[in-house]
Chains A and B, each alone.
Chain A
């Protein structure tokens, strides 16, 4: 899977400009500008922590479960640490200092640090433990104990990744590209399971369980198997486990590894990433700016959380899906096409910086041009091919029309057919199956069946058409792609000048204006003090540095 995803670059004899004749110097310039725009934000992420990052660290150390009101023990624990000593030094030191004081040296509890640290969380919630910032020898032993416990959590993630690689070898990847990605969203995990299994049997390669509306704004991860949700099912560790087990069962039956997707977005991005790694999810929605733009989450909170979550995804071998398609639901898909390209370049920079490899970058884009516009399909092809050629080794997530789906299901099915055709023509990696009942209701069983027939027909009838599809030199499609890339470079220049946070505040992406000092979750952001300690970041970054010097995938 580490080889290129692009049938386009494979089929064109390796000419440097590809099918679009893009100027390699301009492409390099675009990447360079994205790096310069992103660097100050990475610096911001390195110098801050958040309540959710610290909770994710403690989840890696093994804290699990929730109090009788459903508030996770990890929230109660971090709240207690915040009340006593704050988070500027991280939660690991005060927590593991308290562990040593409460339970004695680690040798006494290191066989099951998770149970011990969960017990500490319960005591902290009851007010029977106080936290302090250890110094000297106490600090050294707290550090060592924290590193050991968090290291054990990372090794659990490593084992799940190895398990996935083994299963993919045994059952195999889908025999076709793009992978067919289908959504399940009943609100009840026990309804989702048979629906997901049925979808896999009907041809889905990837199942995404949509989350309950509004979960992204919860500052905790709900616990246990859940049967109630609004337009989706709560993402919980237990729901992850149940669905992964169900898809393992159907993978065995079908002889093809069926992947599972959920969401690392919202206020609990880092914790979602940890839980996904622990339960062997295969893909996670993880966008650098979606939470800011569409959920009004504070920009700094988002960037700090995003960096940590992507470091965990990198370790877990998870493919991320970015959210550029969302911009086009509010902004115009033609006039603002270049904002998608800019966001893809930024997402790529942030992802590489966090240690993700190209094969893990499901960069998003969508088929959202007004179908009444003349040449709309040619414009779509130009945009889709531009993404393909800019990111030849990334899987690319191709999202179906939603904005101009009107409730006319017949026209919708036709539009979805054109969307599918654009997907195979331009060599997209992951195709989210469009529903002709988009804008009417959550998909019915029959809607999904009809939508899959549509995909199968197009893939069977025209699956290899990308080989023959070579846009005319200097023709409409090439010129359009050059225009969009040129506009993207100009916008990146402006962003570098004014700063990414200012650009976001001024509504550059998706029309939303989001100032850096506004939005939800700002009170959970803390500047790191000297001596801040986060064993997870230490271990994850040590591995990244090792991979770089070892000449592995960058």
Chain B
């Protein structure tokens, strides 16, 4: 081995040490970045004693994919949970005081009180006020459900905007990576940035990331719709400004393919996007239908029947709606009736009505509908019959998603139970999925991230090696000096 060989070895070692030091400082700089993947140095010996240092970015794909998938699941569960929570807060979180079930109980109680003191005008006006509270709270709840759907629609739109902007960034950075890889430049930092973008996208929708040659990637939704391949694909969604009883909301299109709606080829069910669709099109629609059924059934319950021949149609009683004085068809969903239910003006003292008509019947002015035929002020049978019909089995539209044959009281109770069961499930799911997502992300960050202490101790090592190599160089230099001096002498 010659002195020149020694010099070459020492020089390449010095260069290798410098490269390692720069890598370590990059790692130290990335200590606070959750998406940073630690670089590792692979040191190998070449021919003639040269040292080669390769910088690698080793991602454990299984950990990475689990982490990305868990992000989508957690975001999905949390979106659903928030949608339901909003609804439950509006009915009263502790005692459900604003829930139709509770209001219906109060209404029944007021009917019983009016029946217990039938000739007392203050009990019948108390009943009317109770009825008014019931109707307005149902109206309020209904408009909250509709605005909840509008909120979910906005959330879809904002999620789509975010995805589109992220896809735009992805297109730019991916192009740089592919070009850089082909021209053998260091693209590791760009890959970090790209992973950061993908991580953000993974909260919006479940991703399937397909790696290709030259560090190129292809990104699909987890159910196989193309979002990115060399160029970003268009994700389009037309938001709806306000929701009415019959509004369905627009579909989502990814790369021109319907990804939601009635008959989508591949509906998106993952991520925030899928969660918002579930809230807008399933949970709140069920709740909306249930409120409509409660309103329809209450109008029907208080409706008056022909007492003489029993042939005339049932007419609206204490409660009426936009289609009044007719009573809505039993067991058929009447969209929007929960928004239009109100106290019948004919019995409302505030509108010049006669509150005693609740006790006697014949609210609509037709004498055939009068229950209290003798006109006695102590007549309570009709009111007692109304109170007990709260517990009579009747039929409900299957669209409400609850048992179709049960009493109004039970229906309102099962609506509340359905809501709370959904909320309980959504909370459990959200807790579990976010815990899981935290664990995966933590495992990934823990395994892939940089540890300050480790990096610093490696730096010490590199420092020593650098000192040694430098010492070697100066020694060789001295040897050369001695040699050349000897030659000159």
Asked if A and B bind, the verdict is: no
